[in-house]
Amino acid sequence: MAQKFVVILAGGKGERFWPLSRLRRPKQLLPIVGNRSMLAQTVARVLPLVPAENVYILTNVEQAAEVRKACPELPKGNIIAEPVGRDSGPAVGLAAEIVAARDPKGIFASLHSDAAIHDEKAFQKDLRVAFSAAAAAPVMVTIGVKPHEPSTGYGYIQRGKSWRKVRGVTVSKARRFVEKPAADVAERYLEAGDYYWNTGIFIWSARVVQDAFKRNAPELHAGLARLGAALRAGQNLPRTLRAIYPSLPKIAVDYALLEKADNVVMLPASFDWDDVGSWTAIARHHAHDAKQNTIVGDGLVEEGSGNIVFSEAGHVTAVFGADDLVVVHTSDATLVCPRSKAQEIKSLLNRLKSDVRGQRLL
């Protein structure tokens, strides 16, 4: 029987959660939602499905030490540090080579480290269905979430015809993937009823992934094949990654594989899901007052509504006579912006990168 693995992608910078999130301690290493880091919650969520030695985390050299501290239950060798970021395509390809070196027939789930999922039992049930589907046929299984609003912040998957029933659940073919749409398009998707939010959770066999890279991204496949050969030969992985990884094309797995493949199937999620993409997500996971103000930490709002205030302990942050702001106070930086601009914080960070005073805050 093929072994099951989980690979968690945890190399993001979490820039939209600045100033709390920084390069060496990004949002996945912070308790943005809940009492533990987002990464620690993700690991705990998958351990009932696979043993700890079959859980891998792909991160980067700047964050590797903190990731190891956050996940003491995993073998140290299962924390893999990319020497440079090459996007999710090479990361998934590397994951496939790692899994194949352990078990050529291995099946793995690749998922992100920073999603908020509260119904863990439903999540685990869906993953078991997805593992069974990936074991039954050479398909790429993805999980889609039924949208409850016309969001422009997520990619979408259009559901196609029914593929087959797996463990009593109907799995459908994925008709197409769509990037983050404009507001009017997102409204049409919601009304159509056959579009789902793309969670970025994929379940597939190592062989299916390798074959797909060979067919659809031959240049990337060549570099990944070299990595795989080195792994099978028992060569030092960090040294091998430093030699090969920077030369790999930088591309998202959606572009490299999924949008070109004709063997993608979709499982509708029975669990709640939020990718917690910016400060506005805080309001969805924390209590609010009668005027829809969400306050985390030492903060208060007077004569205002719809504000999000995050203030680290020991400092009171007050908002007076203002609506719909995001106000974040940390020990060395403070952010104030309209909620409508929370998704655009990256432009502010670009300014900081070019400012000697601001570089220390990144």
| Least confident span in 27-31, 124-128, 357-361 | 357-361
Judge contact between 274 and 284, C-beta under 8 A. yes
Q: pLDDT at position 197, please? A: 97
pLDDT reading at 153 higher than 90 = no
pLDDT reading at 69 higher than 80 = yes
Q: pLDDT at position 360, please? A: 87
Judge contact between 111 and 8, C-beta under 8 A. yes
Tokens 């509504």 correspond to what residue?
305
pLDDT tens-digit readout, 22-67: 988 999 999 999 889 999 999 999 999 999 999 999 999 999 999 9
Task: Say which residues have a Cβ less than 8 Å from residue 1's Cβ, sequence separation at least 6.
Answer: none
4-268 folds as: Spore Coat Polysaccharide Biosynthesis Protein SpsA; Chain A (3.90.550)
Q: 20-24: which pairs have CB atoms within 8 A and are 24 or more residues apart? A: 20/310, 20/328, 20/330, 22/361, 22/362, 23/62, 23/63, 23/362, 24/62, 24/63, 24/66
What is the rounded distance in angstroms from the CA atom of residue 198 to the CA atom of residue 186? Answer: 13
Of the candidates 1, 257, 271, 258, the residue with the CA atom closest to the CA atom of residue 127 = 271
Rounded average pLDDT over 178-203: 95
What is the rounded distance in angstroms from the CA atom of residue 319 to the CA atom of residue 300? Answer: 6
Q: pLDDT at position 58, please? A: 98
Of the candidates 236, 7, 221, 27, the residue with the CA atom closest to the CA atom of residue 109 = 7
pLDDT reading at 313 higher than 80 = no
What is the rounded distance in angstroms from the CA atom of residue 267 to the CA atom of residue 127? Answer: 9
What is the rounded distance in angstroms from the CA atom of residue 109 to the CA atom of residue 308? Answer: 34
Rounded average pLDDT over 168-175: 97
3-state secondary structure the chain: CCCEEEEEECCCCCHHHCCCCECCECHHHCCCCCCCCHHHHHHHHHCCCCCHHHEEEEEECCCHHHHHHHCCCCCHHHEEEECCCCCHHHHHHHHHHHHHHHCCCCEEEEEECCCECCCHHHHHHHHHHHHHHHHHCCCEEEEEECCCCCCCCCCEEEEEEEEEEECCEEEEEEEEEECCCCHHHHHHHHHHCCEEEEEEEEEEEHHHHHHHHHHHCHHHHHHHHHHHHHHHCCCCHHHHHHHHHHHCCCCCHHHHHHCCCCCEEEEECCCCCECCCCHHHHHHHCCECCCCCEEEECEEEECCCCCEEEECCCCCEEEECCCCEEEEECCCCEEEEEHHHHHHCHHHHHHHHCCHHHHCCC
The amino acid at residue 279 is W
Q: pLDDT at position 110, please? A: 98
What is the rounded distance in angstroms from the CA atom of residue 56 to the CA atom of residue 12? Answer: 16
Q: What percent of the chain has pLDDT over 90?
A: 90
How does residue 261 score in pLDDT terms, banded at 50, 70 and 90? very high
β-strand pairing of 195-205 with 107-112: antiparallel
Q: pLDDT at position 23, please? A: 87
Question: With the C-alpha atoms ordered 151, 202, 344, 42, is the resulting torsion angle positive or negative?
Answer: positive
Q: pLDDT at position 312, please? A: 87
Phi/psi for 348 (5° steps) reads -65, -40
pLDDT tens-digit readout, 203-234: 999 999 999 999 999 999 999 999 999 999 99
Write down the domain spans for the chain.
4-268, 279-359
Is 296 exposed, middle or buried (CB count within 10 Å of its CB: 0-12, 13-18, 19+)? middle
Q: pLDDT at position 318, please? A: 97
* Higher per-residue pLDDT: 338 or 35: 338
Q: pLDDT at position 150, please? A: 94
Q: pLDDT at position 300, please? A: 96
Of the candidates 320, 245, 204, 207, the residue with the CA atom closest to the CA atom of residue 90 = 245
How does residue 105 score in pLDDT terms, banded at 50, 70 and 90? very high
Phi/psi for 80 (5° steps) reads -105, 125
Q: pLDDT at position 240, please? A: 94
Supply the pTM of this predicted model: 0.95
